[in-house]
Amino acid sequence: MNTAYQIVVCGSIVPDPLQTLEPVTGPAGPALKNEMMLPAVLDPWASHALYEAANFAKHSAGSKVWLVSLGPKAKLQQVMMTVAQKVPFELIALDGPASGFTDAAEVAALLTEAIQSIPGLDKAKLLVFGGWESASRGAGATMQIVGERLGILDQFQGVDELKLNPDGSLEILERIEGGKHQVSRCVSPPALLGWATGNLPEPKNNPQVGMVNMRTAMPALQKAKPVKLAGESLTFKSVSLPKQLRETKIVKDKSADDIAREIVEWIRK
Amino acid sequence: MPTATDMTPTPTLQTLPGDDIRQIMWRFADRYDLAMMVQACRAVARGPVARAVASGERNTHEWTPQKDALLKAFDEAGITSAFMEPSEGGYIEGPKNLALSLLAFELSWVDAGAATASLAGNLGLSPIHERGTPEQQTYYMSRAVPPKPGENRKAWRYAFALTEPLPFVGVETGMLGGKVRVAEWKDGGEPTLQVDKRGRFITNMGYANVVTAAVDSDDPRIKGSCMVILEETDPGTFDRGTPTKKMVHQLSSTCDPVFNLRVPASRIIGGYTVKGGCIVPNYSHGEIIEAVFRRTRVTVALMSSAKLLSAIEPVIRYQRTRFRGGEGGPGSPRYELGLQQKEDSQHRLIDVWATGEASTSLGFESARLFDQVDPLEKAKDQWLAEKKLSGRAALKELMKKQQEALELVRLSSQPADKRNSSRIDDLAADPMVKFSLLDSLANVFCPACKLWNTGHGATMMREAVSLMGGYGITEDCPGFLGQKWMDAQLEATYEGPEAVQRLQLSITMTNELFLAQFEQWIADMRRIAAQRPGTGACTLATAMRLWLWTLNHVQTATDADGAKLYHKTRQGVTFALADALCWLIAARQFILDVLELAEKGQANPALTDGLLSFVNFFTDLCHVQSARAGGEVGRICAELVHGYNRHPAWDEASCQACYCAEELESLEGIIPGIDSAARACADVTEASGSRSQKAGPCVSYAGLETFIRLRAKLDGCLTGARLAKDRAAEALTKVMIPEALDYPV
């Protein structure tokens, strides 16, 4: 029974969600105001995928995790200062745009190419992870296209849990309607998992893990392949922020039940 | 023809400066070990530390489980082990002054007490780190490192026990509140020491396992003073004492401990030798603490700097949202700008920001300086040991190197075509010459940043709090500004209060090697001013020249009674000049950091869109800060130069020097206009004997012409400074800020 997996996580960067995100129209189409100057984080969906990958690899001797990331090299480097401290992985960087206004098909093609270039890639051991969604690209299509291009037929989206069964098969919980999960069994890799939130907390930063990761991440960033997205097949008619109503109230010493009740009442209003 | 200020490009601040900008300005863009450490530390500061503050953990003097949990968070995030070498379990190679300063800065962004809790452990270890024997270093440093997975041990915590004078009992800081005696000394064996020490205000004492304590000999068989290592399991009394009822830095543990312990003599830090039946410690406590404090004071300085910069975002948000919910909907100036409609609110925040930038620049430059000094200092010690030199002989040898360093500075100042390049190369290659140069700077920068960052920083924190109105002094003020204001006052006090820093500066700033470099800086500032007129570098150069003239003047001048002006007891002179110097070097360092950003930022593609806007904004802030520094220096220097001369009175001698109205009247026919001219520039005694209503005849500036010219020039150099402030203030109203603060209230 083979339990040594090659886990490739696809994940890029998005602006820190605490920042003010204001759509603007630039010469190359829609963009976020000052996007390059805003601090970035690893896409939260991809982050869950990465933490789950590392955890799965930790419990499957001989496994290895790669993070394939398409984004502006300098921004990626900043984000790695945090992400690289979380879990062990090897970075494969592609120097290109990480905007939310890119074409999922083009991005998927580049990611696929990068995955295929991993030396010693063995599809019989391959698990491709990524975010089910993205904080910047809501199409939810990128990972599916990556899977198609790699010829991976077993695809799971909205994954919250992955377990290794004693017989070597993979048990996967996918989100479905009504707050329920669909349980699937996948006999063996290759498989593609688009993660929802998973079950793991964000690992704490550990500079010592980071120092090990950065020994390979820095060279990977330096030799990151510059890529361009043509964006020819994509047009945007209009861009706007979702309508939101923010009512902030600071409370202390309230139970979770009380807070939940109050939120429900507020929604029903 | 455009003026200097007209040439300032227009793009202005779009977002608050992020890590890309700061890494360049503070010179660690190429250090990913430090960049990662900063991120790890930030997560702790804005997570567990902020939650502890928000939940009221500062409101108790006791060491609570929640405060204790912070130590675990420090361990897990690599904050504790950042001080150690990789061979000891750390992960940062080489000197760590900049690393520890960055940690202090990040933690203090939220709460400096948390920074103190972390750094006090390093302070406890520092005597061992700086002067311990190799065995002591190996043993104690590695035990401070948190256990790795699979290791069954607890990390040791450390405290540093010097002394603190007990009020009203006649004890001063010069006396050590600790004694050491020989308890037992068998022939051929190692002596056992009896240590009695009472500590006061000892940080980390609530949980420290090891204490490094300063003690004085109480036994003719022990010479002088020393520092000893005390462990909680040593036989005797290891009483942690009661928690101090402090009103600041409450996330650190502070107690007044009592020790009465027996320890082997091998615990004397740095070891000892036996001479004539007497134990002679290799290092006195003074030698050890000098090596320790000159480094750790820099981190304290940066605690205050972090507070100022951390105040900017919450104040902007407060100002902008101040009137929302009332009259005026979205889109109206009242709704969008709130208090930022008022120039005063903008200008005051600009002052806070400029001070924060300058003090941070000064602090980090000091830390980097010590990173350079550390290996050279070790080389110097080795060099002297190889030459078997100590005491006066060593000092004499170092003085020779200082003269060579002086020669290097003077040669380097000559025009390129007249320089003796081979001599310059020889001198520059000598590590001892380099040590002399850097040491003379470190001796100024360390007290300067401790003094100015904390002292003036506390004043500016008050300003930041005032910008929040009544909200600033509430417990849940966003950014915890009220608590930070109070904490800043402590930072001005501990590890050597302001008077101690001024005293040290008054000595080190007159070192001719420092002053030679200071002369070079003036020329550098002029050159920078020619290339970047908007920075205020010209203003600063003039202010530096005025300060230097004043320093030279007061060193030979006397007061109206003939007493020397520059004397160690005349702190009204020496301390004031020390204060003035701090303003200058802080503003200078800020300018240098902005130049670094302008130059190196171009290599970072992530800054392509915004670099110019940051550079322009910071350039205006530099101008504001340089003008403020110039104003302070001008005021201080003018008070010192004129203030010790007695004002002329309407006495006989002075009156004789006045014009007589009758004489002027008679001369008017011969020299038309003499009467009005004389009245305009001198004093006149009327026929009735009356004179102008004033204190006495106006003072004469004889001998002070250069000063008067420089002072007038400095006033003129302020031209454009307020325009820069207006531009910076306008930028404040447009800069994009995050939706919410990234730590709780």
Q: Which one-letter amino acid corresponds to residue B45?
A: A
Mean pLDDT for A238-260 is 77
- Whether B506 is covered by a domain: the verdict is yes
Give the containing element (helix H, strand E) for B394: helix B391-413
Q: What is the dihedral of CA B431, B432, B438, B439, to 10 degrees?
A: 150
Answer whether B19 sits within 8 Å of A39, measured CB to CB: yes
Give the model's pLDDT for residue B745: 78
For residue B61, count CB atoms less than 10 angstroms from its CB and return exposed for 0-12, middle for 13-18, buried for 19 or more.
middle
Q: Would you state the pLDDT for residue B373?
A: 97
Residue of A nearest to B735 (CA): A34
Q: Terminal CA-to-CA distance of chain B, rounded, Å?
A: 52
Top-confidence range, A19-28, B52-61, B142-151? B52-61
Quickly state the pLDDT bin for B294 (edges 50, 70, 90).
confident
Q: State pLDDT tens for residues B104-141.
A: 999 999 999 999 999 999 999 999 999 999 999 999 99
> Is A36 among the domain residues?
yes
Q: What is the mean pLDDT of residues B376-388?
A: 94
Q: Which of A146-150, B10-14, B403-407, B476-480 has the lowest mean pLDDT?
A: B10-14
Report the pLDDT value the prediction gives residue B389, as an integer from 0 to 100: 93
B658 and B540 inside one domain = no
pLDDT value, residue B173: 55
- With an 8 Å Cβ cutoff, the interface of chain B facing chain A consists of 14-15, 18-20, 32-33, 35-40, 43, 76-78, 81-82, 91, 476, 604-610, 736-740, 742, 745
Compare B290 and A185 and report the one with higher pLDDT: A185
Residues of chain B in contact with residue A91, where contact means CB-CB under 8 angstroms, are: none
Nearest Cβ partner of B78 from A16, A73, A207? A207
**Nearest-angstrom CA–CA distance, B531 and B544:** 19
B86 → chain A, closest CA residue: A208
User: Domain range spanning residue A209?
Assistant: 6-241
- Which helix or strand (DSSP H or E) is residue B707 part of? helix B705-717
- A28 interfaces chain B, CB cutoff of 8 Å: no
Does B14 sit within 8 Å of A210, measured CB to CB? no
A114 pLDDT above the threshold of 70: yes
Q: Is A243 on the interface with B (CB under 8 A)?
A: no
Domain membership of residue B669 (yes or no) is: yes
**Is A125 a domain residue?**
yes
The more confident residue out of B475 and B527 is B527
Residues of B in contact with A216 (CB under 8 A): none
Q: What is the pLDDT of residue A145?
A: 96
Asked if B548 and B520 count as a contact pair (C-beta separation under 8 A), the reply is no
Find the distance separating the first CA and the last CA of chain A, reported in whole Å: 56
Residue B1: the pLDDT is 41
Instruction: Give how far the C-alpha of residue A62 lies from the chain's centroid of Cα atoms, to the nearest Å.
Output: 23
- Would an 8 Å CB–CB cutoff place A78 in contact with chain B? yes
Judge if B517 and B395 occupy the same domain. Answer: yes
Choose the mutation target among B33, B39, B85, B734 for the interface with A, i.e. most A CBs under 10 Å. B39
- With respect to residue B72, please indicate whether it lies within any of the assigned structural domains: yes
Please check whether residues B250 and B359 belong to one and the same domain: no
Q: How far is A187 from chain B (nearest CA, A)?
A: 34
pLDDT at B6 over 50: no
Per the structure, the complete domain to which residue B667 belongs is given by: 652-698
Find the CATH number of the domain harbouring A73.
3.40.50.620
Q: Choose, out of A20, A21, A81, A213, the residue to mutate when testing the contact with B (most B CBs < 10 Å).
A: A81
Confidence of residue B149 (pLDDT cuts 50, 70, 90): confident
pLDDT > 90: what percent of chain B? 83
DSSP string covering B602-662: GG-GGGTTTHHHHHHHHHHHHHHHHHHHHHHHHHHHHHHHHHTSPPP-SSHHHHHTSEEHH
The answer to the question of residue B745 being in a domain is no
Q: DSSP 3-state helix, strand, coil percentages of chain A (rounded to 5)?
A: 30, 25, 40
In a domain, B6, yes or no: no
Q: Do B243 and B107 have their domain in common?
A: no
Q: Per-residue pLDDT tens for B439-450?
A: 999 999 999 999
A200 touches chain B (CB under 8 A): no
Looking at the structure of chain B, the number of domains it has is 4
| In-domain check, residue B725 | yes
Residue A124 lies in a domain: yes
A31-86 pLDDT per residue, tens: 888 888 899 999 999 999 999 999 999 999 999 999 999 999 999 999 999 999 99
Q: For residue A264, give how far its alpha carbon lies from the nearest alpha carbon of chain B (Å).
A: 23
CATH number of the domain to which B307 belongs: 1.20.140.10
Least confident residue range of A154-158, A236-240, A256-260, B1-5: B1-5
Question: Which residues from B are below 8 Å from A19, CB to CB?
Answer: 736, 738-739
**B706 pLDDT more than 80:** yes
When scoring A37, A58, A244 by the number of chain B Cβ atoms within 10 A, the one with the most, hence best to mutate, is A37
Instruction: Examine residue A112 and state whether it is found in any structural domain, yes or no.
Output: yes
Which one of B12, B15, B72, B741 would you mutate to disrupt binding with A, by most A Cβ within 10 Å of its Cβ?
Answer: B15
Residue A262 included in any domain? no
Check residue B391 and give its pLDDT.
87
Q: Could you say which of B253, B286, B319 is where a domain stops?
A: B286
Q: Does residue B174 surpass a pLDDT of 70?
A: no
Last residue of a domain, one of B220, B254, B286: B286
Q: Are residues B514 and B423 in the same domain?
A: yes
Identify whether residues B480 and B343 lie together within a single domain.
yes
Domain boundary residue, one of B152, B175, B192: B152
CA distance B210 to chain A (A): 26
Q: Are residues B148 and B166 in the same domain?
A: no
B48 part of a folded domain: yes
Q: Check residue A6 and give its pLDDT.
A: 98
Query: What is the band of A179 on the pLDDT scale with cuts at 50, 70, 90?
Result: confident
SS3 B63: coil
What mean pLDDT is predicted for residues B167-180?
Answer: 66
B494 is written with which tokens? 């501990």
- Band the pLDDT of A240: cuts 50, 70, 90: confident
pLDDT of B2 reads 45
Asked whether the beta carbons of B189 and B265 are under 8 A apart, the reply is no
The vertex-B302 CA angle with B296 and B305, nearest 5°, equals 160
Predicted local confidence at residue B292, as pLDDT: 87
Same domain, B238 and B332: no
B59: Cα within 13 Å, side-chain hemisphere: 6
A74 touching B, CB under 8 A?
yes
How high is the pLDDT of residue A36?
Answer: 87
CATH number of the domain encompassing residue B124:
1.10.540.10
Q: For position B188, which CATH number holds?
A: 2.40.110.10
Same domain (yes/no): B345, B409:
yes
Tokens representing B578 are 């020390």
Residues 92-151 of A with CB under 8 A from B: none
Q: Please report the pLDDT score of residue B10 as a whole number.
A: 67
Total domain count, chain A? 1
Question: What is the reported pLDDT for A25?
Answer: 85
Label residue A138 exposed, middle or buried (CB < 10 Å: 0-12, 13-18, 19+): exposed
DSSP 8-state symbol, B564: B
Residue B655 banded pLDDT, cuts 50, 70, 90: confident
What pLDDT sits at residue A250?
64
Closest CB to B77 among A22, A39, A204: A204
Tens of pLDDT, residues A194-220: 999 999 999 999 988 999 999 999 999
Q: Is residue A43 part of a domain?
A: yes
- Asked if A255 is an interface residue toward chain B (Cβ–Cβ < 8 A), one would say no
Same domain, B636 and B681: no
Average pLDDT, chain A: 91
Does B353 share its domain with B428?
yes
The alpha-carbon gap from B165 to the nearest alpha carbon of chain A, in Å, equals: 40
When pLDDT is averaged across residues B346-365 and rounded to a whole number, the result is 98
Mean per-residue pLDDT of chain B: 93
Cβ distance of A204 and B43 shorter than 8 Å? yes
B579-637 per-position pLDDT tens digit: 999 999 999 999 999 999 999 999 999 898 899 999 999 999 999 999 999 999 999 99
Please state the ipTM of this predicted complex. 0.89
Cβ-based contacts under 8 A for chains A and B: 98
**Residue among A34, A73, A82 whose CB faces B39 most closely:** A82
B625 with B660, same domain: the answer is no
